[in-house]
Amino acid sequence: MATAKVYRYWSQVAVMGCIVCGGPAEIAHCHGGSITPICGAKAKGKKLAYMDWLVLPLCPGCHRLGRYSLDLNVRAFERLHGTQVSHINKLIERTGVNVWALAKSRHSWAEVDCADAA
Binding site for Zn ion (CB under 5 A): 18, 20-21, 23, 59, 62
The residue among 21 and 80 lying less far from Zn ion, judged by its C-beta, is 21
Nearer to Zn ion, 40 or 45 (CB): 45
Report CA-CA distances (Å) from 86 to 1, 5, 30, 107, 117. 26, 23, 12, 22, 9
Quick check: 45 and 96 in contact, CB under 8 A? no
Q: Which is nearer to Zn ion, 51 or 59 (CB)?
A: 59
**What distance in Å separates the CA atoms of residue 40 and residue 104, rounded to the nearest whole number?**
12
Q: How far is the CB of 41 from Zn ion (least distance, A)?
A: 27
- Report, in Å, the least distance between residue 88 CB and Zn ion: 16
**Is the CB of 17 or the CB of 40 nearer to Zn ion?**
17
Task: For the CB of residue 73, give the shortest distance to Zn ion in the complex, in Å.
Answer: 14
DSSP assignment of 19-76: TTT-S--EEEE-BSGGGHHHH-TT-BGGGSGGGGGSEEEE-HIIIIISTT-TTT-HHH
Q: How far is the CB of 74 from Zn ion (least distance, A)?
A: 15
